[in-house]
Chain A
Amino acid sequence: MQKSLLLLALLCASTACRSTDEPAASPPAGAHSAEPKAQAVAALPIVPAKKADEKAAPKEDVYLAVPALPAAKPAEEPKAAAPVGTRAERFEALQKEFDEAMNAYYDLFRNAKSEAEMQAVAKTAKAPDTAPFFARANALLDEDPTDATAFSALQWMFDNSRDEKQTERLCAIVEKHHFAKAEVAELLRPLAYSGSAGNQLIERLSKESPHEAVRGRALFQCATSAMEDVRFAAEVKSMADGPEKDSYKGYLGEERFARLMLLDAAQAEKDALALFQRVQKEYGSVKLHVGTPYESTLGEQSGANIFEIENLAVGKTAPEIEGEDVAGVAFKLSDYRGKVVMLDFWGFW
């Protein structure tokens, strides 16, 4: 699925915008990083990369952008024809039809040949009505909130719904029926973007889950969220009022946005550092993404974040980079001492 780290993001024409994060975690509907293709078009929906692009991407969990889905109406259950097939089949069909509907809509933007064309599409194109899809997923959850299909439906809804009432209900179902499962770890990231209900649940998981890996990953998520708060707050505070700021509010949710505006960044960073250090000490050996090229441990991941807080913050001397340019010529970042350097982590992909 798609997500985006910071902003309203449109597919970048040449520099693909993407964010990789915790590959095993499900992305929230509106979290994580990307770059606006054009700031002037904040009113446009964020068009996710096509599946094929994602496959070609270097990390399994690479996102280009977040779909700006219209808020789903809380389950009004526009009851369709009687359900056909097993629960798993019904869920699969729902997902497929949803993807088709969204892709048809996004294709209008993907196929636009110019900025003007895109703006024109934005004026005329109608986003698919997502309510019936959510109603179908909700029906699956109502029938049986406990089985594997219910879990998949929960995950899917977290990924696609930005409706706060909806996510509160999802959090309650997770807490009641899936709390003690090991796979609940896959929901940590979307939970972090699900308001206070989600974050309280993460905290409870970090203390009370019967699985060491879930407790560790939940604590790691707390630390990651604290760090993200620092970053988001800096961005939000530097933004002038306007559509860009409004979209930001949409992605982060009113509640988090309001909290970020008042955030004591220095304190939040200290808290995050302490949390990462705790994860490293208590859960350092917990493995992540086992059997994938991204296999690592919570210790390594925490170490990277601790390094970032201690060495890569504003005011610190940039760590040395020694490497080769694309022609194979060795050089160092410090070769450019005396000049202002804009260091850009980028790629075409």
Chain B
Amino acid sequence: MIPHERSLVEKLKNEPFALIGVNSDSDKDKLVQQMKDEGVTWRSFWNGPKGTSGPISTTWNVHGWPTLYFIDHKGVIRARDVRDEAAMEKLIDELIVEAKKDATK
């Protein structure tokens, strides 16, 4: 997961794309260190000290980790839990094309 995400972020760094995490580790200091160690450079909301029972994952009714949402440039949810790496990249590419098309209008 993380190695693929890292390469995805690198590959798409000049595109209208952002990988945003919602992290559910309860120990923030340990989390910050681990993010450094693993090269997690993208931004994450922190779900708070209650970990997986924190406010964001509770509102989003997340019971399985990782859970993925793909949101287009207009803020519309377009897909969920596309975990296959090839399918994920194809989906993101398509959404980026849409975003660029609207940006040049």
The residues of A with any CB-CB pair to B shorter than 8 Å are 5-7, 12, 14-21, 32-36, 39, 58-59, 62, 231, 234-235, 238, 293-294, 304-305, 307-308, 312-319, 321, 323-327, 331, 333-334, 336-349
The complex places the Cα of A337 from the Cα of B102 at a distance, in Å, of: 12
Query: Would you call B1 and A14 a contact (CB within 8 A)?
Result: yes
Report chain A residues within 8 Å CB of B56: 321, 323
The residues of B with any CB-CB pair to A shorter than 8 Å are 1-2, 5, 8, 15-26, 28, 30-32, 34-35, 38, 43-47, 51-53, 55-85, 87-88, 92, 95-96, 99, 103
Report chain B residues within 8 Å CB of A12: 1
The interface centre, meaning the residue of A16, A32, A339 with most chain B CB atoms within 10 A of its CB, is A339
Query: Would you call B71 and A343 a contact (CB within 8 A)?
Result: yes
Query: Would you call B73 and A35 a contact (CB within 8 A)?
Result: no
Count: A-B pairs, CB below 8 Å: 210
The complex places the Cα of A312 from the Cα of B61 at a distance, in Å, of: 9
Give the secondary structure class of B's interface. Answer: mixed
Query: Would you call A338 and B103 a contact (CB within 8 A)?
Result: yes
12 contacts between A and B (CB under 8 A): A14-B2, A33-B67, A39-B85, A294-B53, A312-B60, A314-B78, A314-B79, A315-B76, A333-B71, A341-B19, A344-B68, A348-B30
Query: Would you call A340 and B17 a contact (CB within 8 A)?
Result: yes
The interface centre, meaning the residue of B8, B22, B32, B35 with most chain A CB atoms within 10 A of its CB, is B22
Report chain A residues within 8 Å CB of B35: 326
Report chain B residues within 8 Å CB of A318: 69, 71, 75-77
The complex places the Cα of A83 from the Cα of B55 at a distance, in Å, of: 51
Query: Would you call A326 and B44 a contact (CB within 8 A)?
Result: yes
Q: Which of B52, B76, B87 contacts A316 (CB 8 A)?
A: B76
Given the known A-B contacts A323-B45, A340-B70, are A345 and B62 also in contact in the complex, defined by CB atoms under 8 Å?
yes
Query: Would you call A62 and B73 a contact (CB within 8 A)?
Result: no
Q: How far is the CB of A280 from chain B (nearest CB, A)?
A: 14
Q: Which of A7, A39, A308, A321 contacts B45 (CB 8 A)?
A: A321
Query: Would you call B66 and A345 a contact (CB within 8 A)?
Result: yes
Query: Would you call A347 and B73 a contact (CB within 8 A)?
Result: no
Query: Would you call A348 and B22 a contact (CB within 8 A)?
Result: no
10 closest Cβ pairs, A-B complex:
A33-B64, A58-B51, A323-B45, A19-B64, A5-B64, A308-B61, A343-B69, A347-B24, A340-B95, A341-B71
The complex places the Cα of A313 from the Cα of B78 at a distance, in Å, of: 8
Report chain A residues within 8 Å CB of B55: 323
The complex places the Cα of A234 from the Cα of B95 at a distance, in Å, of: 19
Report chain B residues within 8 Å CB of A308: 60-61
Report chain B residues within 8 Å CB of A327: 32
Report chain B residues within 8 Å CB of A35: 1, 65-66, 83
Query: Would you call B44 and A336 a contact (CB within 8 A)?
Result: no
Report chain B residues within 8 Å CB of A39: 84-85
Query: Would you call A14 and B38 a contact (CB within 8 A)?
Result: yes
Query: Would you call A347 and B52 a contact (CB within 8 A)?
Result: yes
Query: Would you call B68 and A343 a contact (CB within 8 A)?
Result: yes
Report chain B residues within 8 Å CB of A313: 77
Report chain B residues within 8 Å CB of A34: 64
Query: Would you call B22 and A339 a contact (CB within 8 A)?
Result: no
Query: Would you call A325 and B44 a contact (CB within 8 A)?
Result: yes
Query: Would you call A17 and B65 a contact (CB within 8 A)?
Result: yes
Report chain B residues within 8 Å CB of A315: 76-78
The complex places the Cα of A20 from the Cα of B28 at a distance, in Å, of: 21
Report chain A residues within 8 Å CB of B60: 308, 312, 319, 345
Report chain A residues within 8 Å CB of B72: 340
Query: Would you call A235 and B81 a contact (CB within 8 A)?
Result: yes
The complex places the Cα of A347 from the Cα of B1 at a distance, in Å, of: 11
Given the known A-B contacts A19-B65, A347-B65, are A337 and B26 also in contact in the complex, defined by CB atoms under 8 Å?
no
Report chain B residues within 8 Å CB of A32: 64
Given the known A-B contacts A312-B60, A345-B65, are A324 and B53 also in contact in the complex, defined by CB atoms under 8 Å?
no
